[in-house]
Structure 1
Amino acid sequence: MTPRLDAIGLVVADMAASLAFYRRLGLDIPADAESAPHVEATLRGGLRMLWDTEDVIRSFEPDWTRPEGSERLGLAFLCDSPAEVDSVYAELTAAGHQGHLKPWDAEWGQRYAVVLDPDGCAVSLFANAS
């Protein structure tokens, strides 16, 4: 048997803020999940996204501490067009999320931008330039 990637897990300081951010990116997250300590959403293709509060992690790893420094995880969301990269970036930053890299035309042929989720994880937005 070969292991296969089944889920991407995020440890979050504020469940409601994190879920609101990822809902803005189109993830179908269960309604009224903001107060749950663990949340799951199935993505297209069957991959799952998991959110756990810091308290959940400490429940089985009491010495756990929040990582410090740069990005802990990078996620990338494919947009339908370069204009959508710009509009999603604008929507997220207007909603108070921190822009990390404003949209630009990358040398590798994509429109690209990076915004930080509520826990400081880098979320890339990209589309093919053509």
Structure 2
Amino acid sequence: MIEGISAVTLGTHEMPRAVRFYRTLGFEVLHGGEDWSFTSFRAGTSYLNLITQPTERRWSWWGRVIFYVADVDALYDCALAAGYQPATVPRDAEWGERFFHLIDPDGHELSFARPLLLASGQ
């Protein structure tokens, strides 16, 4: 039985830019950093890894990584204040989450979400 996701690893062409992006959003560096070819961040009880890839290596849309956060709207405001342009504004979804999407500097789609509280009596 699968118990959870340990880590997601994303490619980057510019580690310094990618590390700054994720730090700005509140990810904590556990290993590596701007001058390394591999960096690991804490993502709750899991990890987000970045690995430097050659500039000729390209990727296309492959899906999205969804991170649960304490406050979707506060993180959205943080992203805007840092000059990032989220792909969507925060909204409540019919499947019971509040979320917004943001594309990282290497084109990876991220979603930041929080489960909505059930209405009383449900």
TM-score tier by shorter-chain length is 0.7 to 0.9
Q: Is 2:25–2:78's contact at 8 Å kept on the other side of the alignment?
A: no
User: Structure 1 residue 54: deviation in Å?
Assistant: 1.7
Distance, in Å, in 2 between the alignment partners of 1:95 and 1:115 is: 13
User: Structure 1 residue 25: deviation in Å?
Assistant: 3.1
After superposition, residues 1-130 of structure 1 pair within 5 angstroms as 6-30=6-30, 33-45=33-45, 47-55=46-54, 65-68=57-60, 71-80=61-70, 84-130=71-117
Q: Give me the TM-score of the superposition, normalised by structure 2.
A: 0.75
Q: Is 1:105–1:112's contact at 8 Å kept on the other side of the alignment?
A: yes
Q: Give me the TM-score of the superposition, normalised by structure 1.
A: 0.71
Distance, in Å, in 2 between the alignment partners of 1:120 and 1:37 is: 18
AA in 1 matched with 2:67: F
Distance, in Å, in 2 between the alignment partners of 1:49 and 1:30 is: 10
AA in 2 matched with 1:72: W
Describe the shift of the 1:21–1:73 C-alpha distance in structure 2 as closer, same or farther (beyond 3 A). farther
Describe the shift of the 1:92–1:50 C-alpha distance in structure 2 as closer, same or farther (beyond 3 A). same
AA in 1 matched with 2:57: T
Describe the shift of the 1:42–1:107 C-alpha distance in structure 2 as closer, same or farther (beyond 3 A). closer
Distance, in Å, in 2 between the alignment partners of 1:16 and 1:106 is: 34
Describe the shift of the 1:18–1:128 C-alpha distance in structure 2 as closer, same or farther (beyond 3 A). same
Structure 1 gaps, min length 5: 59-63
